[in-house]
Amino acid sequence: MNNPKIESDVFFQEERAEWEYVSDGITRQFIGFNTQLMMVKIKFEKGAIGALHNHFHSQVSYVAGGKFRVSVKGEYKVLKTGDGFYISPNINHGVECLEPGILIDVFSPVREDFLK
């Protein structure tokens, strides 16, 4: 973003928001953000992998649909619609999509690396 003020529009309307390519089988929409907080909707096709990674942000993720095999700090759980998980800063985590679905991720502070 070229704007020194990092902030999204006030309202998010799904049908007007573009899906951004992340990797094979994964796209995302930015729901809202400022410098302190970011909410992102991520759509996964079956078999798509959110590779193991870590970052300095705190993260909470909600399974809005589908089924995922989630790894956090080497522990694996299968989570389905209505479940969620929390990730402390600098902890390795990743997902494998078992059934097509959507995750809602919330980060603090904003993931500036997501913004172009």
Cis peptide before 109 (omega within 30 of 0): yes
Q: What's the pTM?
A: 0.92
Taking only the tens place, the pLDDT of each residue in 39-97 is 999 999 999 999 999 999 999 999 999 999 999 999 999 999 999 999 999 999 999 99
**Could you tell me the domains of the chain?**
14-114 (2.60.120.10)
Taking only the tens place, the pLDDT of each residue in 31-53 is 999 999 999 999 999 999 999 99
Dihedral sign (CA 37, 43, 47, 48): negative
